[in-house]
Amino acid sequence: MSEALKNFGVVKAEEMVLNMGPQHPSTHGVLRLRIRTDGEIVSHIEPHIGYLHRCFEKHCENVTYPQVIPYTDRCDYLASMNNNHVYAMAVEKLMDIELPERVEYIRVIVAELQRIASHLMALGAMGLDLGGVTPITWTFRDRERILDLFEYTCGARLLYNYIWIGGLSHDLPPKFVQYANEFLDYFEKQIVEYDRILTYNKIFVERTADVGVLPVDVAISYGCSGPVLRGSGVNWDLRKNEPYSIYDRFEWEAAVGKGEVGTLGDCWDRYWVRVEEMRQSVRIVRQALAQLPKEGDVHAAIPKKIRPPKGEIYFRAENPKGDLGFYIISDGSPVPYRLKMRSSTFCNLSVLNEIARGWMISDVVAILGSLDIVLGEIDR
């Protein structure tokens, strides 16, 4: 018997093994779920990953520190700005670089807009997984407006290479603040519409409330973070608990699940946390736009030669999908000696078998959607 089969467990005569993926539309990427079922009831799930493995960490150890940034774009490709931000902050901490105020504010603005865009994709995809076609057309429409702002700023709509070590590739264009405020005025009303069409939709609530409950101890044991952890009622957000950049200057609240329509830690709570986080991101961006320094060079702190001193650093930050960290060892050369990325979605996916056992195959789709995974970051 192969080692993989031993780990999968003994398949009883009345049980069946099914493959969901790797081309299944509800797996949110190239993911294969090997599911052992007794009729419609799931008894075990084994995620098979690696279809998108691109040797990210090994690539990073063979290029210079600035050349790593485009590779970070391609991990969680739905939150590229956030990936750039975390990596740049890690290297800046290793080099003890102090940033201009304007750079810090612009970084927060684009990172929070990217958080909204990432959550819009998660909400629309989860609704589509459960049979709702309209919500994803609305979320894509609103996400496009954020991508328009990014294209206006740096010329790209998906992979930005925007946040550089010590600064930014471009300053904000002339009317960015005006356009961003217009988007926020429009978008706040749209969140109310999402609540009407999806959040409190009777069918959606019945498909997600009390389903896939993730207890706090299990979430912590598996290293879950982000909306998956906060959906279980744990008030842990690195922007609040371990403030970085200038997040401590803004007034906002971390979104935490409350078990409003079902059991605390169910699929609906994880969904709701993302909706509430969009509201909080709007608050942060409004304040950042109002406080944005009028003057400042976004290239002032970029060193001509990026060659960190010998040493090591681990830096983490709150990405849309959870706790993203970079561990870097420098040997004093322009190329990282070792770079390790801590993926939040890898840990979040690991808990799937724990919370999906005993549910029906159709519920697995809801549970997986509530985890909001992206395989580019899991496989790397």
Asked whether residue 265 is assigned to any structural domain, the reply reads yes
- The answer to whether 138 and 131 have CB atoms below 8 angstroms apart is no
Q: Which pLDDT does position 6 carry in this prediction? A: 53
Per residue in 321-351, pLDDT tens? 999 999 999 998 999 999 999 999 999 999 9
Q: Which pLDDT does position 111 carry in this prediction? A: 95
C-alpha 159/C-alpha 70 separation (Å) is 7
Average pLDDT on 215-226 reads 93
Average pLDDT on 134-144 reads 93
Structure confidence at residue 25 as a pLDDT band (50, 70, 90): low
Q: Which pLDDT does position 8 carry in this prediction? A: 54
Residue 117 has pLDDT above 90, yes or no: yes
What string of DSSP letters covers 131-146? T--HHHHHHHHHHHHH
Asked whether residue 103 is assigned to any structural domain, the reply reads yes
Q: Which pLDDT does position 190 carry in this prediction? A: 93
Output the domain CATH number for residue 129.
1.10.645.10
Asked whether residue 53 is assigned to any structural domain, the reply reads no
- The answer to whether 378 and 256 have CB atoms below 8 angstroms apart is no
Q: Please, where are the H alpha helices in the chain?
A: 3-8, 56-60, 65-73, 80-95, 101-129, 134-154, 176-194, 202-208, 216-221, 227-230, 238-241, 267-291, 344-350, 352-356, 361-371, 375-379
Asked whether residue 24 is assigned to any structural domain, the reply reads no
- The answer to whether 172 and 153 have CB atoms below 8 angstroms apart is yes
The strands making up 322-330's β-sheet, listed across from edge to edge, are 311-319, 322-330, 338-342
Per residue in 151-167, pLDDT tens? 999 999 999 999 999 99
- The answer to whether 162 and 110 have CB atoms below 8 angstroms apart is yes
Tally of domains within the chain: 1
- The answer to whether 350 and 222 have CB atoms below 8 angstroms apart is yes
Structure confidence at residue 7 as a pLDDT band (50, 70, 90): low
Indicate the pairing of strand 41-48 with strand 32-38. Answer: antiparallel
Per residue in 260-272, pLDDT tens? 888 898 999 999 9
Residue 137 has pLDDT above 90, yes or no: yes
Q: Which pLDDT does position 239 carry in this prediction? A: 92
C-alpha 328/C-alpha 338 separation (Å) is 6
Quote the mean pLDDT of the chain: 90
Report which of residues 1 and 22 the model is more confident about.
22
Domain that holds residue 114: 64-342
Average pLDDT on 218-222 reads 93
Tell whether the torsion through CA atoms of 153, 158, 163 and 164 is positive or negative: negative
For helices 101-129 and 267-291, the axis angle rounded to 10 degrees is 150
Work out the percent of the chain whose per-residue pLDDT is above 90.
71
Asked whether residue 247 is assigned to any structural domain, the reply reads yes
Asked whether residue 51 is assigned to any structural domain, the reply reads no
Q: Which pLDDT does position 1 carry in this prediction? A: 43
Asked whether residue 209 is assigned to any structural domain, the reply reads yes
Q: Which pLDDT does position 11 carry in this prediction? A: 60
Pair of tokens at residue 380: 């790397």
Residue with tokens 């970051």: 377
Pair of tokens at residue 266: 């169910």
Asked whether residue 82 is assigned to any structural domain, the reply reads yes
